[in-house]
Chains A and B, each alone.
Chain A
């Protein structure tokens, strides 16, 4: 089928189109070569699984540090490096430097890209000056800078091939997410949910940087690229003005729904998947309605941007449960049938499994037993509230009104999981999920909107669930049934992306700075090593010179760095923290380092 498509392109349409198909084919081919790591999640299905198996459950205990690299930046280091051929590409938080390191020559720096950005973008970045990484295609490295410049660099020289502005930091629009290449386009989201940005995903031409389409999260149908008759939600057409009808007046223009998370792509269905974030402001009373399509999973055609289906997980958000986390695409059996699935661990504490072709909701279950704001999702297809979460009144910050302090809501605004991506192993058919185990008090109040200024409208206190001391868990999850298979306690939130390998080993980092390896079947800890700073980066693996390597960025920060690094420091401070609990700052300090591991 794929060959046929290439043939048609070559014979009938323009040469440009042929090139575009090649770029896509190149990426699919490279992502199937386990020796390389060519996109943020390792592959289009976003499984973060590698078929490399030199490192196994039996020998991982002997793992050693092979080499290290300092990024020279002391901020939150999210994302992971890429490996394309013999070169590793490492990105940093603001100022968003990029290094190309020669794997044939002990990591010698082949080139360095150092953008000049106005530092006034720093304070309009909500939660530290993080950047979630690079993408590769067609001999180019793509970077989305803090100031929203999307830049294409020559992978060999670091020379800028083209650059384009994706937004205006003066309005609070910033760049933190990794670009994502599909065919002849580079897709990129935008950040600014705490600044009242009308957020979007935009596709740029891979060769030139020319803007091809832009799909907003909220607004009129022609801005959100919906076909009222063909775009569906839970199997039904969404109808005309599906977004506008759920906002008061013009509020959608400052509606948020930001797109700062991860994307996945199914080449066979030709659909790209991503989620949108919180509606602005955090005070739900000020924005009546469902606020569509914030907090939504989108399935779009990457050629045109048109939405095939959508599912809003948290209508009328009252807790800042952004829906941007990764969408993991798997083919598994449910009820004796092989289904094309999409699994998503939402900030709201529910793990969703949907049919990724139709958007049918199959599973929606809590992946942290402490989640209390909802009693579950209505799964009755004939119910008028089908697919909606049932909100528990006690924890409804809308029902309890402005100036009311809602206590003990779980999860906290950080979510049961934030952007740190989970992994999926086809061998065990389990998802490996880094989670937060944090609850909150939430008090909303009125705010007014000023362009480029924070637009928050609530005050929050965060703490571990009552009677518990661990603020994180690392869990194995069965997406077919929606059940936790095993769960390891972590003292702090696990804010690091997981890696699954065919060696039967799963890796993740911790906020104290440990890289940990656990048995994929049982969760038993097999290895740990303390890196120089807390880990909020994602673990990746590659092979070079016949050896399997595992790499991760250290550098504490991000929202975890705000909420925790400066947060719960005093065991007796009355925030609900239990005695003996001590703050992260007793364990780690700022840093910026890549650590690469291998067997001796």
Chain B
């Protein structure tokens, strides 16, 4: 079911975008258009990833890799590949937008039928998730667009000072 929805989504996107766009996911073209303190945004203002020619990823993508594999992968599988009981987010992000993603993570969702019980909890008050929600999003967005592979990114940008400050404030860490 999940796969079929994803495929319909893909077909729709392909039709809508025609042949002009090279890449598009649930939030549109993921190409980085602007950056602020080491964080990248697409032309619509959604957070996105940036991968250098030597394979180095931006700090937020790397941070997302780490937090994803701490908080999300036990259900959604390594590298967003899905598992026997939750969908592959690298596919889901091809059709859902940044706003949808935030909403689902914060509020959770249920898909309980006679054949399966898929239940995603609400993470809205979980700082380990919500303080890094953009990081997790850009990592999965990079996975959805095959910009990073399944393995741990070998190289990454340094941790920006703005990130460290925001992290301490959000997590309640004493600097």
Contact = CB atoms under 8 A, between A and B. Distances in A.
Interface of A: 74-76, 94-95, 119-120, 122-124, 126-129, 194, 282, 405, 441, 443, 445-448, 450, 453-461, 556-557, 561-563, 565-567, 569-570, 573-575, 590
B77 interface: yes
Contacts of B85: 75, 122, 128-129, 557, 561
Interface in B78-126: 78, 81-85, 88, 108, 110, 112, 115-121, 123, 125-126
Given A194-B74, A457-B70, A562-B73, A119 B110 contact: yes
Interface string B117-159: 1111101011111000000000000000000011110000000
11 contacts: A119-B110, A122-B117, A448-B128, A450-B126, A453-B128, A457-B70, A459-B66, A565-B84, A566-B88, A573-B150, A590-B84
A123 B104 CA distance: 14
B44 interface: no
A124 B121 contact: yes
Nearest to B80: A566
B154 to A, nearest CB: 8
Contact of A446 (B115, B121, B129, B173): B173
B18 interface: no
Contacts of B68: 459
B141 to A, nearest CB: 18
B78 A458 contact: no
A454 B112 contact: no
Contacts of B123: 453
Nearest to A570: B150
A441 B152 contact: yes
Contact of A561 (B66, B69, B83, B125): B83
Nearest to A534: B84
Contact of B116 (A74, A445, A453): A74
Contacts of A76: 84
A366 to B, nearest CB: 27
Given A454-B71, A454-B128, A460-B69, A574 B149 contact: yes
B40 interface: no
A447 B132 CA distance: 11
B171 A75 contact: no
Given A457-B70, A574-B149, A563 B78 contact: yes
Contact of A456 (B70, B82, B110, B125): B70
Contacts of B84: 74-76, 128, 556-557, 561-562, 565-566, 590
Nearest to A445: B66
A574 B150 contact: yes
A122 B119 contact: yes
B81 A459 contact: no
B51 to A, nearest CB: 15
Given A441-B152, A561-B84, A574-B149, A453 B66 contact: no
A551 to B, nearest CB: 23
A122 B129 CA distance: 18
A123 B74 CA distance: 9
B150 A562 contact: no
Contacts, number: 115
A422 B140 CA distance: 39
A566 B149 contact: no
A123 B82 CA distance: 14
A557 B81 CA distance: 15
B6 interface: no
Contacts of B128: 447-448, 450, 453-457
Interface bracket on B: 35 or more
B172 interface: yes
A124 B123 CA distance: 12
A567 B110 contact: no
A461 B108 CA distance: 26
Nearest to A455: B128
Contacts of B66: 443, 445, 459
Contact of B81 (A122, A456, A556, A569): A569
Which 6 A-B residue pairings sit nearest by Cβ, starting from the closest?
A566-B77, A459-B69, A574-B151, A566-B83, A453-B126, A123-B121
Nearest to B170: A448
B77 A573 contact: no
B108 to A, nearest CB: 8
Nearest to B78: A567
A340 to B, nearest CB: 39
Nearest to A452: B121
A74 B149 CA distance: 29
A74 B120 CA distance: 18
A411 B129 CA distance: 28
A563 B69 CA distance: 11
A119 B112 contact: yes
Contact of B74 (A94, A126, A455): A126
Interface in B58-78: 65-71, 73-75, 77-78
Interface string B1-42: 000000000000000000000000000000000000000000
B138 to A, nearest CB: 16
A456 B68 CA distance: 11
A482 B119 CA distance: 45
Nearest to B171: A448
Nearest to B121: A123
A570 B119 CA distance: 28
A38 B152 CA distance: 46
A562 B70 contact: no
A445 B131 CA distance: 14
A400 to B, nearest CB: 15
A147 to B, nearest CB: 13
Given A119-B110, A454-B70, A457-B70, 7 more contacts: A94-B117, A122-B119, A450-B125, A453-B129, A454-B74, A566-B82, A590-B84
Contacts of B171: 446, 448
A566 B79 CA distance: 9
A120 B67 CA distance: 22
A461 to B, nearest CB: 6
Nearest to A128: B85
A95 B65 CA distance: 32
A128 B118 CA distance: 11
B74 A562 contact: yes
A114 to B, nearest CB: 12
Nearest to B172: A448
Nearest to A575: B151
A249 to B, nearest CB: 14
A565 B83 contact: yes
Contacts of A570: 150
A467 to B, nearest CB: 18
Nearest to A561: B84
B53 to A, nearest CB: 18
